[in-house]
């Protein structure tokens, strides 16, 4: 397929959490349209597979180790990116996810289920999940924002969640952080609008990822009770595929398509948010 987003050719995208299921698909798609990709993960090895895929199809990409919760780590990565590519045009804040230490075993208090209750969640686990999703987005936006503002049509794309609109049970830290992402997206969009930096977010519906697989799939490959609830509440009656996000990604990244769009969070959810349940 011939890329149609010619305006993206030669631009440079930084993708935090770029080895994840969703962000790796985004990275490969941007590379297909001629974008040079910098994959950031806590360990560079995680991004090498994505980089190899991109290079195998003629694209340009590098993988770097960076911790989005450590400013000095992000600054070091920025220096390497500028040395390799000379600029930054697009920032995708995809680092985040969840952790068992911030998940309750029961959906509502009083359920007779073994595992952590709300009162047994430890502050460290809660804070770590909140920070990896929200504070990591803040720090990466600060570090790379100065480089973005040097370009003519820069953009930041944050990764939100369905849980930002209506919090999912069991995952209070993740839900709170993603709600914060929506608000922060609007704040940054307003703050940087006159400077020419657009800031938007994508809120994926329910996709199978490394972080949520244990919540959504049984060991035998069947759906958990939680998955059956999700599918029943999704009018399209399926989980999303990473490819379902790519059209929205390209629309938001290419200013010739979305140059007057800033401060929004776009649901890509199979109708989940629209369905009342009846």
Query: Catalytic residues, which ones?
Result: 174
Asked if 187 and 124 count as a contact pair (C-beta separation under 8 A), the reply is no
Q: For residue 249, how far is the Cα from the chain centroid? A: 11
Asked if 199 and 189 count as a contact pair (C-beta separation under 8 A), the reply is yes
* Helix H or strand E segment including 27: helix 21-32
| Alpha helix positions (H), 86-217 | 123-130, 136-148, 172-192, 213-216
Asked if 94 and 24 count as a contact pair (C-beta separation under 8 A), the reply is no
Residues in the chain: 278
Compute the distance between CA of residue 29 and CA of residue 192 in angstroms, rounded to an integer. 27
Nearest to residue 253, comparing CAs of 207, 199, 205, 204? 199
- Residue with the two structure tokens 């930041």: 156
């Amino acid at each position: 397929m011939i890329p149609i987003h010619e305006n993206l050719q030669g631009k440079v995208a930084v993708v935090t959490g770029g080895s994840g299921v969703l962000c790796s698909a985004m990275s490969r798609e941007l590379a297909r349209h001629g974008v040079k990709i910098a994959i950031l993960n806590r360990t560079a090895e995680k991004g090498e597979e994505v980089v190899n895929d991109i290079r195998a199809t003629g694209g340009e990409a590098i993988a770097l180790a960076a911790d989005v919760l450590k400013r000095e780590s992000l600054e070091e990565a920025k220096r390497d990116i500028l040395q390799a590519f000379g600029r930054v045009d697009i920032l995708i804040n995809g680092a985040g996810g969840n952790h068992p230490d911030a998940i309750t075993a029961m959906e509502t208090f009083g359920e007779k289920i073994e595992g952590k209750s709300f009162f047994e969640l430890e502050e460290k686990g809660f804070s770590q999940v909140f920070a990896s999703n929200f504070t990591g987005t803040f720090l990466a936006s600060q570090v790379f924002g100065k480089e973005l503002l040097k370009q003519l049509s820069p953009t930041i794309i944050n990764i939100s969640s369905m849980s930002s609109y209506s919090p999912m049970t069991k995952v209070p830290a993740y839900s709170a952080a993603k709600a914060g992402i929506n608000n922060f997206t609007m704040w940054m969009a307003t703050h940087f609008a006159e400077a020419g930096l657009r800031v938007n977010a994508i809120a994926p519906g329910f996709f199978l990822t490394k972080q949520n697989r244990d919540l959504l799939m049984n060991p035998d490959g069947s759906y958990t009770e939680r998955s059956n609830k999700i599918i029943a509440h999704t009018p399209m009656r399926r989980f999303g595929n990473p490819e379902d996000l790519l059209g929205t990604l390209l629309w938001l990244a290419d200013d010739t398509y979305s140059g007057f769009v800033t401060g929004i969070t776009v649901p890509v959810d199979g109708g989940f948010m629209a369905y009342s349940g009846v």
